[in-house]
Amino acid sequence: MKSQRPSRRQFMQSMIASSTLGVGLTGAVVSDAAPLVPPGEGKEANDEAYWRWIASQFLTNPSIAYMNTGSRGPSPRQVIQAQFDAITAYDTDRLSYVTYVDTMERRAELRARLAAFVGCDADEVALTNNTTEGMAFGTLGLELSPGDEIIYTNHDHNGGAQPVNLACARYGAKAVVVDLSDARFHPPENEDMLVEAIADAITPRTKLISFCHINYTDGCCLPVKKICDMARDRGVLTLVDGAHPPGMLDIDIHAYGCDMYAGAGHKWLLGGMLTGFLYVRRDVLDQVWPLVYSGPINGLSMYGSEVDDTPYNRQALTAARYEMRGSRNSSNFASMKAALDFHEAITPAAIEQRVRYLAARARDGLREIPGVDVYVSEDPKLSAGLVSFTLAGVEPKTVNNELWTRHGIYIRDVTHPEIDWAVNRASLHIMVDAGQVDLLISGVAELAKENKT
Ligand SMILES: Cc1ncc(COP(=O)(O)O)c(C=O)c1O
């Protein structure tokens, strides 16, 4: 099911091409002559020379340890270059660009590439602007009646939860919130307790379960397949908030068996800002109405005439219908394609292993520090690239500020007093190296020591 990946040689050629183009880009992008081939060929998760070379493809100031990909992933230079080239080409010769470059066929090719990357079929995926948009399409597109119920958890992001509450407010439906605030979920001992917590909330009126593949609060990976299988057995639809896994893990949406999956392109996938996707399983396509839509309806145009069988009109029959909504920033699509090239050249499996290696290093090091609690599991089924922790007696915001001002370490806090949740969170992606993880650990240890004295 997975796509043919470009060879290392092709990847390097694209690197060389992108680093020598330099059409009007700032010096930061092109004049900073990066090595054109990575030192060493190894892709082992702990091959620092290889991964440092990969990290050097990002523009991040070397004095900064960027550990907040969970909010926004910086793009590597070739992704920025591709986006810049698209903008340049568009404004240089707009007619040629829309005739030969930004065409329906190219857009379909990108959907096919993305679909192969995430493990679904090309007609089941739409290019969106962000995760929130996909979550809103998935929830608000359903037909609901008063008394229907939708489940979400209180460790979801508002991008997934608030569309549920909006749908409920509009249709007189009921939001049923699964409480994951109890300490036994941080970390959970096993996957089944998460499946059970959600299963217990199902009633005969439940229409949809909306939940995160990876919680942004604690970094917990939910057992997506088990939850979706359980929901399917009980006749309930599933909508997965996949803001984090694409680009972090080697994901396979068909294997999860979910009905809908909303992902981000501008986080771990490292695409340009305002990129994302929504997967809708072919069999449920007609249950999910497009919310913003200007395409044919029941095969008819706005004049009531039958529409021609063109690539544009055919989009109405597939998940591409969720894209039929006026002008889009097509340079984002160029950046998405370049981001897929980048990931596929390194390989999603190698990236996942590197992310897990860095996260485990952070987790294990932080756990050793007196006063530090780590909330993410050691079990690889329940954890991945987000590491949440607290330092006793120091506000998470203070920890952020101190790490930033003293060491240039950029992490974030996730603070929600309503659910008694206030932690620091580090995102460990491939622009981070092992030395920076060690700096995080020693930086927190330094704060712990000062706090004690
Ligand atoms: C779990 C989760 N869902 C949704 C979002 C919103 O993502 P986007 O900005 O792509 O809409 C975030 C953002 O951090 C998130 O962490």
Integer-rounded Cα radius of gyration of the chain: 22
Quick one: tokens of 249?
Answer: 């893990």
Q: Is 47 in the pocket of ligand 1 (CB under 6 A)?
A: no
Quick one: tokens of 350?
Answer: 């190698």
Q: Is the pLDDT of residue 28 over 90?
A: no
Same domain as 317, residue 425: no
Q: Is the pLDDT of residue 290 over 60?
A: yes
In order of 19, 87, 134, 292, the CA distances from 32 in angstroms are 9, 22, 37, 43
Q: Counting Cβ atoms within 10 Å, is residue 138 exposed (0-12), middle (13-18) or buried (19+)? A: buried
Q: Is the pLDDT of residue 22 over 90?
A: no
pLDDT at 14 (0 to 100):
44
Q: Is the pLDDT of residue 36 over 60?
A: no
Quick one: pLDDT band at residue 34, thresholds 50, 70, 90?
Answer: very low
Q: Is the pLDDT of residue 241 over 60?
A: yes
Residue 144 in 3-state DSSP?
A: coil
Quick one: pLDDT band at residue 41, thresholds 50, 70, 90?
Answer: low
Query: Cis peptide before 187, with omega less than 30 degrees from 0?
Result: yes
Same domain as 379, residue 328: no
CATH number of the structural domain spanning residue 122? 3.40.640.10
Asked whether 218 and 376 are in contact (CB, 8 A), the reply is yes
Does 18 fall in a domain? no
Asked whether 171 and 147 are in contact (CB, 8 A), the reply is no
Q: Counting Cβ atoms within 10 Å, is residue 28 exposed (0-12), middle (13-18) or buried (19+)? A: exposed
H helix intervals, 253-327: 253-256, 311-314
Single residue among 290, 307, 341 that ends a domain in this structure = 341
Q: Is the pLDDT of residue 39 over 60?
A: no
The DSSP code for 32 is S
> For residue 159, which atom of ligand 1 is closest to its CA?
4
Same domain as 146, residue 293: yes
Same domain as 357, residue 281: no
Does 6 fall in a domain? no
> For residue 70, which atom of ligand 1 is closest to its CA?
14
pLDDT at 179 (0 to 100):
98
- Half-sphere exposure for 36 (CA within 13 Å, toward CB): 12
Quick one: pLDDT band at residue 186, thresholds 50, 70, 90?
Answer: very high
| Average pLDDT of the residues in 204-222 | 98
Single residue among 341, 361, 394 that ends a domain in this structure = 341
pLDDT at 38 (0 to 100):
61
Q: Is 131 in the pocket of ligand 1 (CB under 6 A)?
A: yes
Does 4 fall in a domain? no
Does 353 fall in a domain? yes
Does 56 fall in a domain? no
Residue 102 in 3-state DSSP?
A: coil
Q: Is 212 in the pocket of ligand 1 (CB under 6 A)?
A: yes
Cβ neighbors of 406 (< 8 A, separation 6 or more) are 443, 446
d(CA 170, CA 47): 53
Query: Where is 161: in which H helix or E strand?
Result: helix 158-171
d(CA 450, CA 264): 39
Nearest CA to ligand 1 atom 16: 216
Quick one: tokens of 36?
Answer: 């054109």
d(CA 393, CA 145): 48
Residue recorded with tokens 């990357």: 117
The backbone torsions φ and ψ at residue 208, rounded to the nearest 5 degrees and listed phi first, read -150, 140
Does 310 fall in a domain? yes
Q: Work out how many domains the chain is built from and give that number.
A: 2
> For residue 135, which atom of ligand 1 is closest to its CA?
4
Per-residue pLDDT reduced to its tens digit, 108-158: 999 999 999 999 999 999 999 999 999 999 999 999 999 999 999 999 999
Same domain as 249, residue 204: yes
pLDDT at 9 (0 to 100):
42
Identify the CA nearest to 112 among candidates 101, 123, 103, 102.
123
Q: Which residue of 131, 210, 215, 240 sits with most ligand 1 atoms within 8 Å of its CB, as the best mutation to test the pocket?
A: 131
Identify the CA nearest to 159 among candidates 177, 136, 140.
136
Strand partners, 240: 211, 261
CATH number of the structural domain spanning residue 377? 3.90.1150.10
Strand partners, 125: 279
Does 55 fall in a domain? no
Same domain as 141, residue 273: yes
Same domain as 225, residue 208: yes
- Domain range for 141 is 104-341
d(CA 8, CA 345): 6
Quick one: tokens of 45?
Answer: 């998760």
Q: How many other CB atoms are found less than 10 A from the CB of residue 343?
A: 23
Same domain as 217, residue 355: no
d(CA 377, CA 383): 6
Single residue among 341, 376, 397 that ends a domain in this structure = 341
Same domain as 279, residue 410: no
Same domain as 302, residue 255: yes
Say if strands 421-427 and 412-416 run parallel, antiparallel, or are unpaired: antiparallel
Q: Which residue of 69, 152, 157 sits with most ligand 1 atoms within 8 Å of its CB, as the best mutation to test the pocket?
A: 157
Does 36 fall in a domain? no
Asked whether 268 and 403 are in contact (CB, 8 A), the reply is no
Per-residue pLDDT reduced to its tens digit, 313-341: 999 999 999 999 999 999 999 999 999 99
Same domain as 390, residue 369: yes
Counting other chains too, the contacts that 37-42 makes at CB distance below 8 Å and 24 or more residues apart are: 37/12
Asked whether 319 and 280 are in contact (CB, 8 A), the reply is yes
d(CA 373, CA 353): 24
Give the 3-state secondary structure percentages of the chain, helix then strand then coil, rounded to 5.
45, 15, 40
d(CA 446, CA 385): 24
Same domain as 426, residue 314: no
Per-residue pLDDT reduced to its tens digit, 66-103: 999 999 999 999 999 999 999 999 999 999 998 988 89
pLDDT at 452 (0 to 100):
74
